[in-house]
Structure formats: C-alpha cells, structure tokens
Amino acid sequence: MFARKHSSEYVHPLTPVLLGIAPADRAATAEGLRAYIGKNGPGFQVGHIVPFLGSWVKEGLFRDLLSRLNLEPVSTERRSRECATTGATPAR
C-alpha cells in the first residue's frame, strides 16, 4: 500500500488512519482503523488521534471501531468537569 525507498523503512500502523483523516475521507479512515485493529494495535496510540476524528466519533461505525480498542470519546461537558476537578486546562 505504501511505497518504501528501502526495505528497512518502517511505516507506522496508524499511517493509513492518518492518511484518511487528512483529506476527511471517512471510508479510508475506517479501513485504516479496521486494519490497525486487525494487527492488534494498542488503543492508547489511537487515543491520541481521536480528537482529529471530530464528529465522526459519534457515528456508529467509528463508535464501534473505537469501542473495539476500549476507547470512548469524552464529551466536552465531561472534559470540562474533569478539568475543573484536576485543575487542568481543557483542550479545544
């Protein structure tokens, strides 16, 4: 799927997901997540890109894929409440 200049080059398993997010291609992003899950990729790495999924996380397909990684999007209200408790600044 990805061209490599050298056989020793490493392509991170989340690359297809990121390449789907960049042009806002839901199908490519979902396929990348499915492939990542199929490789038993850890959920903590996907957790860092969930904010870039935006409103897609509310869609059934992405909710299901994220739940397979034991990830649940945090609502803005819940995040604000948690930040108030811990003193952290909410991300925007």
23-45 as b/e: b if 16+ CB within 10 A: eeeeebbbebbebbbeeebeeee
- Angle (CA) 23 5 42, round 5°: 55
* Average pLDDT for the chain: 82
For the chain, percent of residues with pLDDT exceeding 70: 73
Does residue 16 have a pLDDT over 90? yes
Range 36-52 average pLDDT: 90
Sorted by where each begins, the domain ranges of the chain are 15-86
Higher pLDDT, 78 or 14: 14
Higher pLDDT, 8 or 86: 8
